[in-house]
Structure 1
Amino acid sequence: MNHDSRTSSGTSEVISTHSVFGAPCWVSLTSRDLQATEDFYSAVLGWRWRSAKLGDHFRIALADGVPVAGIAAVAGMWQMAVAWTPYFAVPSADEAAARAQERGGTAAVGPISFPPGRAALLADRDGAPFGVWEGELVADWEAWRRSAPAFIRLHTRDAFDAAIFYGEVLEWASDRPGCCEVHYEGGEVVLRSRGDVVARIESGALGKAPDPTIRPHWQVHFAVADVAACARAAEQHGGSVLSKVSDEAVLRDADGAQFTVTSHRAR
Protein backbone atom coordinates (compact mmCIF):
# COMPACT_ATOMS: atom_id res chain seq x y z
CA MET A 1 0.00 0.00 0.00
CA ASN A 2 3.02 2.23 -0.33
CA HIS A 3 2.46 4.67 -3.18
CA ASP A 4 6.05 5.45 -4.19
CA SER A 5 6.35 4.13 -7.75
CA ARG A 6 10.12 4.31 -8.00
CA THR A 7 12.12 1.15 -7.53
CA SER A 8 15.51 0.94 -5.83
CA SER A 9 17.14 1.21 -9.26
CA GLY A 10 15.32 4.48 -9.92
CA THR A 11 13.10 3.07 -12.66
CA SER A 12 9.33 3.22 -12.60
CA GLU A 13 7.33 0.01 -12.37
CA VAL A 14 3.69 -0.14 -11.35
CA ILE A 15 2.42 -3.45 -10.00
CA SER A 16 -1.26 -3.61 -9.09
CA THR A 17 -3.58 -5.91 -7.20
CA HIS A 18 -4.90 -7.13 -10.55
CA SER A 19 -1.70 -9.14 -11.07
CA VAL A 20 -0.88 -9.97 -7.43
CA PHE A 21 -4.06 -10.69 -5.51
CA GLY A 22 -5.19 -12.58 -2.42
CA ALA A 23 -1.74 -12.29 -0.81
CA PRO A 24 -0.75 -10.06 2.10
CA CYS A 25 0.53 -6.84 0.54
CA TRP A 26 1.02 -4.46 3.47
CA VAL A 27 0.85 -4.16 7.25
CA SER A 28 -0.31 -1.07 9.11
CA LEU A 29 -0.21 -0.03 12.76
CA THR A 30 -2.80 2.22 14.35
CA SER A 31 -1.23 4.11 17.26
CA ARG A 32 -1.93 7.07 19.53
CA ASP A 33 1.44 8.85 19.56
CA LEU A 34 3.36 9.06 16.29
CA GLN A 35 6.71 10.14 17.74
CA ALA A 36 6.65 7.53 20.50
CA THR A 37 5.78 4.85 17.95
CA GLU A 38 8.63 5.90 15.67
CA ASP A 39 11.09 5.92 18.58
CA PHE A 40 10.03 2.45 19.76
CA TYR A 41 10.25 0.70 16.39
CA SER A 42 13.46 2.49 15.47
CA ALA A 43 15.03 1.07 18.63
CA VAL A 44 13.56 -2.43 18.34
CA LEU A 45 13.56 -3.08 14.58
CA GLY A 46 16.00 -0.45 13.31
CA TRP A 47 13.43 1.20 11.09
CA ARG A 48 13.80 4.63 9.53
CA TRP A 49 10.90 6.83 8.51
CA ARG A 50 9.53 9.03 5.78
CA SER A 51 6.34 11.01 5.42
CA ALA A 52 3.25 9.57 3.76
CA LYS A 53 0.97 11.25 1.26
CA LEU A 54 -2.04 10.78 3.54
CA GLY A 55 -1.01 13.56 5.94
CA ASP A 56 0.78 14.42 9.17
CA HIS A 57 -0.70 11.52 11.16
CA PHE A 58 0.84 8.90 8.84
CA ARG A 59 4.39 7.60 8.32
CA ILE A 60 6.06 4.94 6.19
CA ALA A 61 8.58 2.64 7.88
CA LEU A 62 11.74 1.78 5.93
CA ALA A 63 14.01 -1.23 6.38
CA ASP A 64 17.26 -0.83 4.44
CA GLY A 65 15.51 1.84 2.38
CA VAL A 66 12.56 -0.39 1.43
CA PRO A 67 9.06 0.61 2.61
CA VAL A 68 7.80 -2.22 4.83
CA ALA A 69 4.90 -0.89 6.93
CA GLY A 70 2.64 2.04 7.60
CA ILE A 71 1.92 3.88 10.84
CA ALA A 72 -1.37 5.75 11.36
CA ALA A 73 -1.56 7.77 14.58
CA VAL A 74 -5.34 7.88 14.51
CA ALA A 75 -6.36 5.40 17.24
CA GLY A 76 -7.57 8.11 19.61
CA MET A 77 -8.95 10.40 16.93
CA TRP A 78 -10.92 7.68 15.11
CA GLN A 79 -11.74 5.57 18.22
CA MET A 80 -9.83 2.59 16.83
CA ALA A 81 -7.91 -0.13 18.64
CA VAL A 82 -4.11 0.09 18.84
CA ALA A 83 -3.06 -2.89 16.72
CA TRP A 84 -1.13 -4.24 13.76
CA THR A 85 -3.37 -5.13 10.81
CA PRO A 86 -2.47 -7.01 7.61
CA TYR A 87 -3.86 -5.89 4.26
CA PHE A 88 -4.55 -8.30 1.40
CA ALA A 89 -4.37 -7.46 -2.30
CA VAL A 90 -7.72 -7.67 -4.10
CA PRO A 91 -8.87 -6.70 -7.61
CA SER A 92 -11.89 -4.88 -6.13
CA ALA A 93 -12.14 -3.63 -2.53
CA ASP A 94 -15.89 -3.13 -2.92
CA GLU A 95 -16.45 -6.70 -4.10
CA ALA A 96 -14.20 -8.16 -1.39
CA ALA A 97 -16.00 -6.16 1.33
CA ALA A 98 -19.37 -7.30 -0.02
CA ARG A 99 -18.25 -10.95 -0.06
CA ALA A 100 -16.99 -10.63 3.52
CA GLN A 101 -20.32 -9.24 4.72
CA GLU A 102 -22.30 -11.86 2.78
CA ARG A 103 -20.32 -14.54 4.64
CA GLY A 104 -20.86 -13.13 8.14
CA GLY A 105 -17.97 -10.68 8.39
CA THR A 106 -18.24 -6.97 9.09
CA ALA A 107 -16.97 -3.76 7.52
CA ALA A 108 -15.47 -1.33 10.04
CA VAL A 109 -14.14 1.30 7.63
CA GLY A 110 -14.79 1.73 3.92
CA PRO A 111 -14.22 0.84 1.23
CA ILE A 112 -12.88 4.36 0.78
CA SER A 113 -10.54 5.96 -1.74
CA PHE A 114 -6.86 6.35 -0.90
CA PRO A 115 -5.37 7.39 -4.26
CA PRO A 116 -4.07 5.51 -6.16
CA GLY A 117 -6.44 2.85 -4.82
CA ARG A 118 -9.20 1.85 -2.44
CA ALA A 119 -9.06 0.26 0.99
CA ALA A 120 -11.40 -1.28 3.54
CA LEU A 121 -10.92 -2.40 7.13
CA LEU A 122 -12.96 -5.55 7.75
CA ALA A 123 -13.38 -8.28 10.34
CA ASP A 124 -13.96 -11.98 9.75
CA ARG A 125 -16.77 -14.06 11.25
CA ASP A 126 -14.87 -14.44 14.53
CA GLY A 127 -14.01 -10.75 14.82
CA ALA A 128 -10.37 -10.83 13.66
CA PRO A 129 -9.63 -7.50 11.89
CA PHE A 130 -7.98 -7.44 8.46
CA GLY A 131 -7.80 -5.04 5.55
CA VAL A 132 -8.09 -5.23 1.78
CA TRP A 133 -6.32 -3.03 -0.75
CA GLU A 134 -7.15 -2.41 -4.40
CA GLY A 135 -4.68 -0.50 -6.53
CA GLU A 136 -0.95 0.03 -6.91
CA LEU A 137 1.41 -2.02 -4.75
CA VAL A 138 4.94 -1.36 -3.60
CA ALA A 139 6.87 -0.64 -6.79
CA ASP A 140 9.77 -3.01 -6.17
CA TRP A 141 7.51 -5.91 -5.24
CA GLU A 142 10.25 -8.51 -4.80
CA ALA A 143 12.23 -6.15 -2.55
CA TRP A 144 9.12 -5.64 -0.42
CA ARG A 145 8.59 -9.38 -0.16
CA ARG A 146 12.17 -9.84 1.06
CA SER A 147 12.00 -6.96 3.55
CA ALA A 148 8.40 -7.41 4.62
CA PRO A 149 7.22 -9.42 7.63
CA ALA A 150 8.30 -13.06 7.56
CA PHE A 151 4.62 -14.00 7.51
CA ILE A 152 1.33 -13.37 9.28
CA ARG A 153 -0.55 -15.93 11.36
CA LEU A 154 -4.25 -16.02 12.15
CA HIS A 155 -5.05 -17.40 15.61
CA THR A 156 -8.69 -18.45 15.44
CA ARG A 157 -11.20 -21.00 16.73
CA ASP A 158 -11.46 -23.14 13.58
CA ALA A 159 -8.68 -22.95 11.00
CA PHE A 160 -10.64 -24.75 8.31
CA ASP A 161 -13.72 -22.56 8.69
CA ALA A 162 -11.49 -19.46 8.60
CA ALA A 163 -9.68 -20.73 5.50
CA ILE A 164 -13.01 -21.16 3.72
CA PHE A 165 -14.07 -17.61 4.68
CA TYR A 166 -10.82 -15.97 3.54
CA GLY A 167 -10.57 -18.20 0.50
CA GLU A 168 -13.97 -17.07 -0.73
CA VAL A 169 -13.42 -13.40 0.14
CA LEU A 170 -9.86 -13.17 -1.25
CA GLU A 171 -10.21 -15.73 -4.06
CA TRP A 172 -7.53 -18.08 -2.80
CA ALA A 173 -6.96 -21.34 -4.70
CA SER A 174 -8.84 -20.07 -7.74
CA ASP A 175 -7.84 -20.66 -11.34
CA ARG A 176 -6.70 -17.05 -11.78
CA PRO A 177 -3.01 -16.48 -12.56
CA GLY A 178 -1.18 -15.15 -9.49
CA CYS A 179 -3.63 -16.46 -6.92
CA CYS A 180 -2.46 -17.95 -3.62
CA GLU A 181 -2.23 -21.67 -2.93
CA VAL A 182 -3.69 -23.17 0.23
CA HIS A 183 -2.23 -26.28 1.88
CA TYR A 184 -2.50 -28.15 5.17
CA GLU A 185 0.95 -28.55 6.66
CA GLY A 186 2.08 -29.46 10.18
CA GLY A 187 -1.34 -28.97 11.74
CA GLU A 188 -1.88 -25.52 10.19
CA VAL A 189 -3.50 -24.11 7.08
CA VAL A 190 -0.65 -22.57 5.07
CA LEU A 191 -0.99 -19.88 2.41
CA ARG A 192 1.67 -19.66 -0.28
CA SER A 193 2.23 -16.92 -2.84
CA ARG A 194 4.68 -17.69 -5.65
CA GLY A 195 5.94 -20.60 -3.57
CA ASP A 196 6.67 -18.54 -0.43
CA VAL A 197 4.77 -19.01 2.84
CA VAL A 198 3.01 -15.68 3.45
CA ALA A 199 0.34 -16.63 6.00
CA ARG A 200 -0.63 -19.40 8.39
CA ILE A 201 -3.96 -20.16 10.08
CA GLU A 202 -4.10 -22.15 13.30
CA SER A 203 -6.98 -23.24 15.54
CA GLY A 204 -7.20 -22.64 19.25
CA ALA A 205 -8.07 -19.00 20.00
CA LEU A 206 -11.23 -18.45 22.05
CA GLY A 207 -14.05 -16.49 20.49
CA LYS A 208 -14.94 -14.11 23.32
CA ALA A 209 -11.82 -14.04 25.46
CA PRO A 210 -11.01 -10.51 26.71
CA ASP A 211 -7.27 -11.00 26.26
CA PRO A 212 -6.19 -10.04 22.72
CA THR A 213 -3.43 -12.65 22.85
CA ILE A 214 -6.03 -15.42 22.76
CA ARG A 215 -9.10 -14.03 21.05
CA PRO A 216 -9.06 -14.38 17.23
CA HIS A 217 -6.50 -12.06 15.65
CA TRP A 218 -3.86 -11.81 12.93
CA GLN A 219 -0.34 -11.79 14.38
CA VAL A 220 2.38 -10.05 12.35
CA HIS A 221 5.83 -11.72 12.43
CA PHE A 222 8.81 -9.49 11.61
CA ALA A 223 12.02 -11.23 10.54
CA VAL A 224 15.04 -10.06 12.57
CA ALA A 225 18.69 -11.00 12.97
CA ASP A 226 18.71 -11.10 16.80
CA VAL A 227 15.51 -11.99 18.67
CA ALA A 228 17.03 -11.50 22.13
CA ALA A 229 18.31 -8.02 21.26
CA CYS A 230 14.86 -6.99 20.01
CA ALA A 231 13.25 -8.25 23.21
CA ARG A 232 15.72 -6.30 25.35
CA ALA A 233 15.19 -3.14 23.29
CA ALA A 234 11.40 -3.50 23.62
CA GLU A 235 11.64 -3.61 27.43
CA GLN A 236 14.10 -0.72 27.51
CA HIS A 237 11.75 1.48 25.48
CA GLY A 238 8.49 0.97 27.34
CA GLY A 239 7.29 -2.27 25.78
CA SER A 240 7.07 -5.77 27.19
CA VAL A 241 7.92 -9.37 26.33
CA LEU A 242 4.91 -11.69 26.42
CA SER A 243 6.83 -14.86 25.57
CA LYS A 244 10.26 -15.76 24.21
CA VAL A 245 12.10 -18.79 22.88
CA SER A 246 15.44 -18.93 21.09
CA ASP A 247 14.18 -17.98 17.62
CA GLU A 248 10.97 -16.10 18.37
CA ALA A 249 9.49 -13.59 20.82
CA VAL A 250 6.02 -12.12 21.20
CA LEU A 251 6.34 -8.45 22.10
CA ARG A 252 4.03 -5.58 22.98
CA ASP A 253 4.99 -2.04 22.06
CA ALA A 254 4.73 0.95 24.39
CA ASP A 255 1.23 1.69 23.10
CA GLY A 256 -0.04 -1.86 23.59
CA ALA A 257 0.13 -3.26 20.05
CA GLN A 258 1.27 -6.88 19.89
CA PHE A 259 3.67 -8.33 17.31
CA THR A 260 6.21 -11.13 16.95
CA VAL A 261 9.89 -11.05 16.03
CA THR A 262 11.14 -14.20 14.31
CA SER A 263 14.73 -15.11 13.52
CA HIS A 264 15.72 -14.95 9.84
CA ARG A 265 16.90 -18.53 10.31
CA ALA A 266 13.38 -19.65 11.21
CA ARG A 267 11.69 -18.22 8.12
Structure 2
Amino acid sequence: MKSDGTLDRAVVSSHSVFGAPCWVSLATRDLRAAQDFYHAVLGWEWHAGKLGREYRFARVNGVPVAGVSAMSGFGGRVATWTPYFAVASADETVSRSQERGGTTAVGPISFPPGRAALLADRDGAVFGIWEGELVAGWEEWRRAAPVFVRLHTRDAFDAAIFYAEVLEWASSAPGSCEVRYEDNEVVLRSRGDVVARIHSGAVEAAPDPTIRPHWQIHFTVDDVEAAARAARAHGGTAHQQGLGSTEAILTDPDGAHFTVTCKGAP
Protein backbone atom coordinates (compact mmCIF):
# COMPACT_ATOMS: atom_id res chain seq x y z
CA MET A 1 0.00 0.00 0.00
CA LYS A 2 1.31 3.45 -0.87
CA SER A 3 1.31 6.40 1.51
CA ASP A 4 -1.63 8.00 -0.32
CA GLY A 5 -3.84 4.98 0.26
CA THR A 6 -3.59 3.42 -3.20
CA LEU A 7 -2.50 -0.14 -3.86
CA ASP A 8 1.03 -0.87 -5.06
CA ARG A 9 1.03 -1.51 -8.80
CA ALA A 10 3.36 -1.29 -11.77
CA VAL A 11 4.00 2.26 -12.90
CA VAL A 12 2.24 3.06 -16.18
CA SER A 13 3.08 6.25 -18.04
CA SER A 14 0.90 8.43 -20.25
CA HIS A 15 3.40 7.69 -23.04
CA SER A 16 2.04 4.15 -23.31
CA VAL A 17 -1.54 5.17 -24.15
CA PHE A 18 -1.08 8.68 -25.50
CA GLY A 19 -4.17 10.21 -27.08
CA ALA A 20 -6.60 8.06 -25.09
CA PRO A 21 -8.75 9.17 -22.16
CA CYS A 22 -6.85 8.21 -18.99
CA TRP A 23 -8.79 9.91 -16.17
CA VAL A 24 -12.01 11.77 -15.39
CA SER A 25 -12.42 14.48 -12.77
CA LEU A 26 -15.35 16.38 -11.27
CA ALA A 27 -15.22 19.99 -10.04
CA THR A 28 -17.97 20.58 -7.47
CA ARG A 29 -18.99 23.08 -4.80
CA ASP A 30 -19.81 20.50 -2.12
CA LEU A 31 -17.19 17.78 -1.78
CA ARG A 32 -19.04 15.84 0.94
CA ALA A 33 -22.36 15.85 -0.93
CA ALA A 34 -20.61 14.66 -4.09
CA GLN A 35 -18.96 11.79 -2.25
CA ASP A 36 -22.29 10.69 -0.74
CA PHE A 37 -24.09 10.94 -4.09
CA TYR A 38 -21.57 8.97 -6.16
CA HIS A 39 -21.20 6.35 -3.45
CA ALA A 40 -24.97 5.78 -3.61
CA VAL A 41 -25.24 5.85 -7.42
CA LEU A 42 -21.99 4.18 -8.54
CA GLY A 43 -20.81 2.45 -5.37
CA TRP A 44 -17.57 4.41 -5.15
CA GLU A 45 -15.41 4.50 -2.04
CA TRP A 46 -13.25 7.54 -1.29
CA HIS A 47 -9.77 8.44 -0.06
CA ALA A 48 -7.53 11.49 0.09
CA GLY A 49 -4.32 11.48 -1.93
CA LYS A 50 -1.38 13.62 -2.94
CA LEU A 51 -3.39 16.47 -4.44
CA GLY A 52 -4.41 18.18 -1.20
CA ARG A 53 -7.29 18.42 1.24
CA GLU A 54 -9.81 19.52 -1.40
CA TYR A 55 -9.31 16.56 -3.76
CA ARG A 56 -10.66 13.03 -3.32
CA PHE A 57 -10.02 9.85 -5.27
CA ALA A 58 -12.90 7.45 -5.99
CA ARG A 59 -12.04 3.75 -5.81
CA VAL A 60 -13.62 0.54 -7.06
CA ASN A 61 -12.14 -2.58 -5.47
CA GLY A 62 -9.15 -0.51 -4.41
CA VAL A 63 -8.46 0.88 -7.90
CA PRO A 64 -8.61 4.68 -8.34
CA VAL A 65 -11.20 5.44 -11.03
CA ALA A 66 -12.05 9.18 -10.80
CA GLY A 67 -11.28 12.36 -8.92
CA VAL A 68 -13.42 15.04 -7.31
CA SER A 69 -12.17 18.51 -6.38
CA ALA A 70 -13.81 21.35 -4.45
CA MET A 71 -14.48 24.59 -6.33
CA SER A 72 -14.37 26.90 -3.31
CA GLY A 73 -13.46 30.42 -4.37
CA PHE A 74 -14.38 29.88 -8.03
CA GLY A 75 -17.50 32.06 -8.01
CA GLY A 76 -20.22 31.12 -10.47
CA ARG A 77 -18.43 28.25 -12.18
CA VAL A 78 -20.67 25.35 -13.17
CA ALA A 79 -20.01 21.94 -11.64
CA THR A 80 -18.79 19.67 -14.40
CA TRP A 81 -17.09 16.40 -15.30
CA THR A 82 -13.94 16.68 -17.43
CA PRO A 83 -12.08 13.93 -19.32
CA TYR A 84 -8.27 13.91 -19.32
CA PHE A 85 -6.30 12.53 -22.26
CA ALA A 86 -2.85 10.99 -21.94
CA VAL A 87 -0.09 12.86 -23.76
CA ALA A 88 3.65 12.41 -24.20
CA SER A 89 4.37 16.11 -23.60
CA ALA A 90 1.98 18.58 -21.97
CA ASP A 91 3.92 21.58 -23.28
CA GLU A 92 3.94 20.37 -26.88
CA THR A 93 0.25 19.45 -26.70
CA VAL A 94 -0.71 22.90 -25.41
CA SER A 95 1.31 24.49 -28.22
CA ARG A 96 -0.42 22.34 -30.86
CA SER A 97 -3.83 23.25 -29.42
CA GLN A 98 -3.10 26.97 -29.46
CA GLU A 99 -1.74 26.79 -33.02
CA ARG A 100 -5.03 25.22 -34.12
CA GLY A 101 -7.36 27.69 -32.44
CA GLY A 102 -7.78 26.06 -29.04
CA THR A 103 -7.48 27.94 -25.76
CA THR A 104 -5.67 27.19 -22.51
CA ALA A 105 -7.52 27.70 -19.23
CA VAL A 106 -4.91 26.30 -16.83
CA GLY A 107 -1.35 25.05 -17.12
CA PRO A 108 0.59 23.12 -17.82
CA ILE A 109 1.24 22.82 -14.09
CA SER A 110 2.99 20.13 -12.06
CA PHE A 111 1.03 17.65 -9.96
CA PRO A 112 3.58 15.02 -8.95
CA PRO A 113 3.89 12.47 -10.49
CA GLY A 114 2.99 14.37 -13.68
CA ARG A 115 1.86 17.56 -15.37
CA ALA A 116 -1.63 18.65 -16.36
CA ALA A 117 -3.40 21.35 -18.33
CA LEU A 118 -7.02 22.30 -18.88
CA LEU A 119 -7.84 23.26 -22.46
CA ALA A 120 -10.80 24.04 -24.70
CA ASP A 121 -11.11 23.15 -28.37
CA ARG A 122 -11.92 25.83 -30.95
CA ASP A 123 -15.67 25.34 -30.35
CA GLY A 124 -15.31 25.72 -26.58
CA ALA A 125 -15.53 22.09 -25.37
CA VAL A 126 -13.32 21.71 -22.28
CA PHE A 127 -10.91 18.81 -21.83
CA GLY A 128 -7.79 18.05 -19.85
CA ILE A 129 -4.42 16.53 -20.70
CA TRP A 130 -2.06 14.54 -18.49
CA GLU A 131 1.65 13.79 -18.90
CA GLY A 132 3.33 11.35 -16.53
CA GLU A 133 2.53 8.40 -14.32
CA LEU A 134 -1.12 7.34 -14.49
CA VAL A 135 -3.05 7.17 -11.23
CA ALA A 136 -3.92 3.56 -12.04
CA GLY A 137 -2.74 1.27 -14.79
CA TRP A 138 -4.77 2.14 -17.88
CA GLU A 139 -6.22 -1.33 -18.45
CA GLU A 140 -6.76 -1.76 -14.70
CA TRP A 141 -8.63 1.55 -14.60
CA ARG A 142 -10.86 0.53 -17.50
CA ARG A 143 -11.66 -2.85 -15.94
CA ALA A 144 -12.51 -1.35 -12.56
CA ALA A 145 -14.93 1.30 -13.84
CA PRO A 146 -15.47 1.04 -17.60
CA VAL A 147 -15.90 4.49 -19.07
CA PHE A 148 -15.96 6.18 -22.43
CA VAL A 149 -16.42 9.82 -23.35
CA ARG A 150 -18.50 11.42 -26.09
CA LEU A 151 -18.03 14.87 -27.56
CA HIS A 152 -21.28 16.55 -28.57
CA THR A 153 -20.32 19.22 -31.07
CA ARG A 154 -21.48 21.11 -34.16
CA ASP A 155 -19.18 19.46 -36.70
CA ALA A 156 -17.77 16.02 -35.86
CA PHE A 157 -15.29 15.99 -38.74
CA ASP A 158 -13.83 19.39 -37.90
CA ALA A 159 -13.55 18.39 -34.24
CA ALA A 160 -11.93 15.07 -35.16
CA ILE A 161 -9.28 16.89 -37.20
CA PHE A 162 -8.53 19.21 -34.27
CA TYR A 163 -8.17 16.42 -31.71
CA ALA A 164 -6.26 14.15 -34.09
CA GLU A 165 -3.67 16.88 -34.65
CA VAL A 166 -3.50 17.97 -30.99
CA LEU A 167 -3.56 14.50 -29.36
CA GLU A 168 -1.78 12.69 -32.21
CA TRP A 169 -4.60 10.30 -33.02
CA ALA A 170 -4.10 8.03 -36.03
CA SER A 171 -0.39 8.79 -36.17
CA SER A 172 2.31 6.33 -37.22
CA ALA A 173 3.67 6.07 -33.68
CA PRO A 174 3.28 2.69 -31.93
CA GLY A 175 0.20 2.63 -29.69
CA SER A 176 -1.52 5.52 -31.41
CA CYS A 177 -5.33 5.57 -31.19
CA GLU A 178 -7.34 4.45 -34.21
CA VAL A 179 -10.04 6.72 -35.63
CA ARG A 180 -12.96 5.54 -37.79
CA TYR A 181 -16.38 6.78 -38.84
CA GLU A 182 -19.15 4.41 -37.71
CA ASP A 183 -22.93 4.86 -37.36
CA ASN A 184 -22.87 8.64 -37.80
CA GLU A 185 -20.11 9.12 -35.23
CA VAL A 186 -16.34 9.44 -35.21
CA VAL A 187 -15.13 6.54 -33.06
CA LEU A 188 -11.79 6.42 -31.23
CA ARG A 189 -10.24 3.11 -30.22
CA SER A 190 -7.22 2.40 -28.07
CA ARG A 191 -5.89 -1.16 -27.80
CA GLY A 192 -9.11 -2.30 -29.47
CA ASP A 193 -11.46 -0.65 -26.94
CA VAL A 194 -13.89 2.13 -27.86
CA VAL A 195 -12.73 4.98 -25.60
CA ALA A 196 -14.29 8.07 -27.20
CA ARG A 197 -16.92 9.13 -29.70
CA ILE A 198 -17.55 12.45 -31.48
CA HIS A 199 -21.14 13.18 -32.45
CA SER A 200 -22.82 15.98 -34.39
CA GLY A 201 -25.76 14.24 -36.05
CA ALA A 202 -26.23 12.58 -39.41
CA VAL A 203 -23.74 13.20 -42.21
CA GLU A 204 -26.28 15.02 -44.37
CA ALA A 205 -27.42 17.30 -41.53
CA ALA A 206 -26.12 20.87 -41.33
CA PRO A 207 -24.16 21.80 -38.21
CA ASP A 208 -26.54 22.72 -35.38
CA PRO A 209 -25.69 26.22 -34.05
CA THR A 210 -27.74 25.59 -30.88
CA ILE A 211 -25.43 22.82 -29.62
CA ARG A 212 -23.14 23.87 -26.79
CA PRO A 213 -20.10 21.67 -27.47
CA HIS A 214 -19.13 19.58 -24.47
CA TRP A 215 -17.62 16.26 -23.47
CA GLN A 216 -20.05 13.84 -21.78
CA ILE A 217 -18.73 11.14 -19.44
CA HIS A 218 -20.36 7.69 -19.73
CA PHE A 219 -19.99 5.32 -16.77
CA THR A 220 -20.89 1.68 -17.30
CA VAL A 221 -23.22 0.13 -14.72
CA ASP A 222 -24.97 -3.21 -14.20
CA ASP A 223 -28.43 -1.67 -13.76
CA VAL A 224 -29.33 1.68 -15.34
CA GLU A 225 -32.73 1.87 -13.63
CA ALA A 226 -31.19 1.27 -10.19
CA ALA A 227 -28.63 4.02 -10.82
CA ALA A 228 -31.41 6.40 -11.90
CA ARG A 229 -33.46 5.62 -8.77
CA ALA A 230 -30.42 6.19 -6.55
CA ALA A 231 -29.70 9.52 -8.25
CA ARG A 232 -33.24 10.77 -7.64
CA ALA A 233 -33.19 9.53 -4.04
CA HIS A 234 -29.98 11.42 -3.27
CA GLY A 235 -30.78 14.86 -4.62
CA GLY A 236 -30.02 14.40 -8.32
CA THR A 237 -32.13 13.93 -11.44
CA ALA A 238 -32.38 11.21 -14.07
CA HIS A 239 -33.71 11.22 -17.60
CA GLN A 240 -34.36 7.83 -19.24
CA GLN A 241 -35.74 7.08 -22.68
CA GLY A 242 -38.15 4.55 -21.18
CA LEU A 243 -38.46 1.53 -18.91
CA GLY A 244 -35.66 -0.89 -19.65
CA SER A 245 -33.52 1.75 -21.32
CA THR A 246 -29.83 0.91 -21.62
CA GLU A 247 -28.80 4.53 -20.96
CA ALA A 248 -29.77 7.43 -18.72
CA ILE A 249 -28.51 10.98 -18.31
CA LEU A 250 -28.06 11.82 -14.63
CA THR A 251 -27.40 15.08 -12.82
CA ASP A 252 -25.79 15.23 -9.38
CA PRO A 253 -27.03 17.62 -6.63
CA ASP A 254 -24.61 20.34 -7.83
CA GLY A 255 -25.80 20.16 -11.45
CA ALA A 256 -22.99 18.15 -13.05
CA HIS A 257 -24.25 15.95 -15.89
CA PHE A 258 -23.03 12.45 -16.71
CA THR A 259 -24.41 9.34 -18.39
CA VAL A 260 -24.78 5.77 -17.15
CA THR A 261 -24.77 3.03 -19.78
CA CYS A 262 -25.66 -0.61 -19.27
CA LYS A 263 -22.77 -3.07 -19.55
CA GLY A 264 -22.82 -4.77 -22.92
CA ALA A 265 -24.76 -1.96 -24.61
CA PRO A 266 -23.27 -0.88 -27.98
Whether these two folds match at TM > 0.5 is: yes
Alignment-derived partner of residue 33 in structure 1: 30
Q: Does 1:133 align with 2:117?
A: no
Contact 1:206 1:216 in 2 (8 A): no
List structure 1 segments (4+ residues) > 2 angstroms apart after TM superposition: 3-7, 78-81, 138-141, 147-150, 204-207, 242-245
Contact 1:5 1:139 in 2 (8 A): no
CA distance in 2, matches of 1:94, 1:140: 23
Match of 1:105 among 99, 102, 106: 102
Q: Does 1:96 align with 2:93?
A: yes
1:55/1:5 CA distance change after superposition, 3 Å: closer
CA distance in 2, matches of 1:151, 1:40: 21
Contact 1:66 1:144 in 2 (8 A): yes
- How far residue 52 of structure 1 moved from its aligned partner, in angstroms, is 1.8
- How far residue 81 of structure 1 moved from its aligned partner, in angstroms, is 2.7
CA distance in 1, matches of 2:34, 2:241: 22
- How far residue 206 of structure 1 moved from its aligned partner, in angstroms, is 4.6
Q: Does 1:179 align with 2:176?
A: yes
Q: Does 1:224 align with 2:216?
A: no
Q: Which amino acid letter does the alignment assign opposite residue 78 of structure 1? A: F
Deviation digits for residues 14-34 of structure 1, max 9, x if unmatched? 111122200000000000011
Of all paired residues, the percent bearing the same amino acid is: 67
Deviation digits for residues 181-203 of structure 1, max 9, x if unmatched? 00001110000000100000001
- How far residue 146 of structure 1 moved from its aligned partner, in angstroms, is 1.3
Q: Which amino acid letter does the alignment assign opposite residue 190 of structure 2? A: S
- After TM superposition, list the pairs within 5 Å mapping 1:146-225 onto structure 2: 146-204=143-201, 206-207=208-209, 209=210, 214-225=211-222
1:5/1:129 CA distance change after superposition, 3 Å: same
Q: Does 1:249 align with 2:245?
A: no
Q: What is the root-mean-square deviation of aligned Cα atoms in Å? A: 1.8
Structure 2: runs of 5+ lacking an equivalent: 202-206
CA distance in 1, matches of 2:64, 2:231: 22
Q: Which amino acid letter does the alignment assign opposite residue 105 of structure 2? A: A
1:109/1:36 CA distance change after superposition, 3 Å: same
Alignment-derived partner of residue 260 in structure 2: 261
- How far residue 6 of structure 1 moved from its aligned partner, in angstroms, is 6.6
- TM-score when normalising by structure 1: 0.91
Structure 1: runs of 5+ lacking an equivalent: none
CA distance in 1, matches of 2:44, 2:146: 13
CA distance in 2, matches of 1:155, 1:16: 28
- TM-score when normalising by structure 2: 0.91
Contact 2:4 2:48 in 1 (8 A): no
Contact 2:188 2:195 in 1 (8 A): yes
Contact 1:28 1:84 in 2 (8 A): yes
CA distance in 2, matches of 1:195, 1:241: 31
Alignment-derived partner of residue 204 in structure 2: none
Paired residue secondary structure (1:78): coil
Alignment-derived partner of residue 17 in structure 2: 20
Contact 1:123 1:130 in 2 (8 A): yes
Paired residue secondary structure (2:40): helix
CA distance in 1, matches of 2:65, 2:180: 26
Moved more, 134-143 or 114-123: 134-143
Contact 2:78 2:255 in 1 (8 A): no
Contact 2:178 2:190 in 1 (8 A): yes
CA distance in 2, matches of 1:244, 1:34: 30
Q: Which amino acid letter does the alignment assign opposite residue 174 of structure 2? A: P
